[in-house]
Amino acid sequence: MKDEKFIKDTQTVLQFIQTFCDDKHASQHPKESLNISYREKNLLHVSFHLCSTCKQTFLYSLERLQSCPHEEKPRCRKCSNPCYERSRWKELAQIMRYSGMKLGLVKLKKIFMR
Ligand SMILES: [Zn+2]
C-alpha cells in the first residue's frame, strides 16, 4: 500500500486502541514513543500510553499492516488470505466496537471491515 495510506491506517488503529485503553484500563501507563518504518523507510513517529495488553495488540496490528502483501490493501474482512489470528481478531473487534461507538466507526471500518 502507499506510504500515506500506511501512515493514516497506523494512526487510526492507534487512536482506537488508545481510546479503548483509556476508558477500560484507566490508570497511569507510562508514555512511550515509537518510530515506525515501512518498507525500509522511517515514516512516522507515534506516542502512546497503553497498558501492556493493549500495547501488544497495537504492535501486532502494526506488524500485520507492515506485512500486508497487497498493493491496494483490501478490507481485512474481504481478504482472501487474512493474516490475523482468530484470537487477536476478536480482541481487535472488541476494541473497534467500543471505540467505534465513541469516535465513529467509519475510519476503522475502512481498514478492517465492510
Ligand atoms: Zn489497555
CA of 39 to the centre of ligand 1 (A): 28
Whether 110 shows a pLDDT value over 70: the answer reads no
What pLDDT digit, counting tens, does each position of 14-58 carry?
999 999 999 999 877 899 999 999 999 999 999 999 999 999 999
Domain holding 43, by residue range, is 3-112
CA of 77 to the centre of ligand 1 (A): 24
CA of 23 to the centre of ligand 1 (A): 8
Whether 111 shows a pLDDT value over 80: the answer reads no
Whether 77 shows a pLDDT value over 80: the answer reads no
Number of domains in the chain: 1
Whether 67 shows a pLDDT value over 60: the answer reads yes
CA of 18 to the centre of ligand 1 (A): 8
Measured from the Cβ of residue 32, the count of other Cβ atoms closer than 10 Å reads 11
CA of 72 to the centre of ligand 1 (A): 31
Query: Whose grid coordinates read 525500509?
Result: 40
Q: Return the DSSP state at 81.
A: S
